[in-house]
Amino acid sequence: MMIDICLLGCGGSMPISSRFLSAVLIRYNGKMCLIDCGENTQVALKLLGWGLKHIDVICLTHYHGDHLFGLPGLLSTISNSERTEPVTIIGPKGLSSIITGIRSILPYLPYELKLCENPSSLEFNNMTISTLSLNHTSPCLGYGFEIKRSPRFDVLKAESNNVPKKIWNLLQKGGSVNIDGVLYTPEMILGQERRGIKLSIITDTRPIPTIPEFIKDSNLFICEGMYGDDADIEKAQNNKHMTFREAALLAKAGNVSEMILTHFSPSMADPALYLNNALEVFPNTHLGTDGLVRMLKFGGKEIEK
């Protein structure tokens, strides 16, 4: 089982010629979920080549333009793809007002927009999407995406419990079976728990105490790095963003496997100049780039070139 993640854009505040604005795309089990939709998102999607007809869920972290202004155009283009299935849009408080404004210029769409305002969690495509309230200049959500993995099948346990072989597969899928008055349950054949896949995305916030627990044990942590220079800490505090070092401290506290920095200030032409500020704290830190793809799978990860 595998989940693909693409950083469509790694810029913050405003677009520059070398960097698209914030957006992340997740592809799993034939469906896709988009997180934020800054300007140029459609262009980034075209360059990626995964299509856009199968974007079923759009998660908005907040409603600043660098995360939102690409949404009206994207919704319009999706309508041209002959999609008729509903699209779910998730966001913090104020979502209904935002979508009402967008619908004023998109009075007709051939598909329904289902709104989910400020949820704590929801299920999508066998994936749990959870949210965390952040500390930004407007209501803002962090997002977690988790795919559970069923426990390992234990042949010896199944045999010791006298479970008929013909129902092993049904029990593995989570069902229970009654045969001649005997109830067979999944617990009778399943053994050790196995780690699933967890992805966390935190952007546009100050570090807050709830983040490390929210991102705990993530395979991949995508985090804003608005400011690379430690000397910009006052800017980060005033604008409610983070420095590279602050992001790295969160990654370390959350015991994540890997962190990718994104949402770079337009004034930071070369984020690589400041990467060591994060590496000193959390060595498995990488800089995001437009179009970067990660493939996460049960038991490991790899880079798609």
Helix/strand/coil percentages in the chain, nearest 5 = 25, 30, 40
Q: What is the pLDDT of residue 252?
A: 98
| 79 close to 103: Cβ distance less than 8 angstroms | no
**Cβ neighbours, 10 Å, residue 152:** 11
Q: Is residue 66 among the annotated active site residues? A: yes
Answer whether residue 45 shows pLDDT above 70. Answer: yes
CB proximity list for 34: less than 8 A, separation 6 or greater: 23, 24, 25, 26, 41, 55, 57, 58, 59, 74
Answer whether residue 202 shows pLDDT above 50. Answer: yes
Q: What is the pTM of this model?
A: 0.88
* Catalytic one of 66, 204, 232, 290: 66
For residue range 238-257, what is the model confidence (pLDDT) as tens digits?
Answer: 999 999 999 999 999 999 99
Task: Tell me how far apart the alpha carbons of residues 73 and 165 are, in angstroms, rounded to a whole number.
Answer: 54
**How high does pLDDT run on average in the chain?**
93
Answer whether residue 303 shows pLDDT above 50. Answer: no
